[in-house]
Amino acid sequence: MCLRCTTHLGRRGFLSLSSIAAIGAGAVGSGLMARPARAATALTADEALAKLKDGNARYVAGPQLCEDNMLKQRADVAKSQAPWASILTCSDSRVTPELIFGGVSLGELFVARNAGNMADTATMGTIEYGAEHLGTPLVVVLGHETCGAVVAACDVVKTHARLPGSIGPMVNAIVPAALAMKGKPGDFVDNTVRESARRTAHKIATQSPVIKHLEHEDKVKVVYARYDLQSGAVEFLG
């Protein structure tokens, strides 16, 4: 059951996840530079976090995508958006936030994605915009199992692998996390996935004056997590 179905009365329509081939990955919307005409979400960071956890638990137990009211929802959010969480995650096609958090609909999540879920300038600005302008109370940095960008960073550390084009500089941003995890007990790549997500969350929380200010006012919380490709579970790490 999706998040929407838990809060709305009326006919429930479900579509098996396996039958869905083309679901838009992001819900950023076209109103990026327009101030919302309505208030931001009333949810606190802790309430938003609980909602994500509940949605992921439903996804793990029985992945379904809700089609209930999608037309109405599209119309409702066409003029403005009030997303209740910002998600920074990988571009990996298997880590689609709206799906893995239990079928979240249009206008609910503010999403930034790039290979390796790194916080470069564009991503920092995106997260800041979500928190400051749209009022999202929660920022989640979401890494995932066997992330290709992290694997590449570990290869750079282990074998001094050279990567073509802009992939090298992109992966270099993950290398400090890989260096920190080199030789540690456990799986090198998975340790680096977790460490990189932790570092990115820390960077957002400490290097962005916008987020720092909002955190100080208890208006934003930054957390990090790891998504398991096999089980579908999101493990919130800190």
Using DSSP's 3-state secondary structure scheme, residue 168 falls into: helix
- Cβ atoms of 140 and 225 within 8 Å: the answer is yes
To Zn ion, the closest distance from the beta carbon of 113 in angstroms equals: 9
The DSSP bridge partners found for residue 14 are: 66
Near Zn ion by CB under 5 A: residue from 3, 147, 193, 214: 147
To Zn ion, the closest distance from the beta carbon of 181 in angstroms equals: 16
To Zn ion, the closest distance from the beta carbon of 199 in angstroms equals: 15
Encoded one letter per residue, x for contact with Zn ion by CB under 5 A and - for no contact, window 173-212 reads ----------------------------------------
Closest CA to 51 of 112, 87, 104, 89: 104
- Cβ atoms of 119 and 126 within 8 Å: the answer is no
- In degrees, rounded to 5, the angle at the alpha carbon of residue 119 between the alpha carbons of residues 195 and 155 is 50
Please state, in angstroms and rounded to a whole number, the distance separating the CA atoms of residues 233 and 238. 15
Binding segment for Zn ion among 42-50, 123-131, 143-151, 166-174 (CB under 5 A)?
Answer: 143-151
Using the minimum distance from each CB to Zn ion, give the nearer residue, 58 or 113: 113
Using the minimum distance from each CB to Zn ion, give the nearer residue, 104 or 189: 189
Near Zn ion by CB under 5 A: residue from 56, 58, 77, 92: 92
- Cβ atoms of 51 and 233 within 8 Å: the answer is no
To Zn ion, the closest distance from the beta carbon of 115 in angstroms equals: 6
Under rule CB under 5 A, residue 118 binds Zn ion: no
Q: How many CB atoms lie within 10 A of CB 8?
A: 15
Size of the site for Zn ion (CB under 5 A): 3
- Near Zn ion in 3-22, by CB under 5 A: none
> CA distances (Å), 46 to each of 76, 85, 233, in order?
25, 11, 19
Residue ranges that bind Zn ion, judged by CB under 5 A:
90, 92, 147
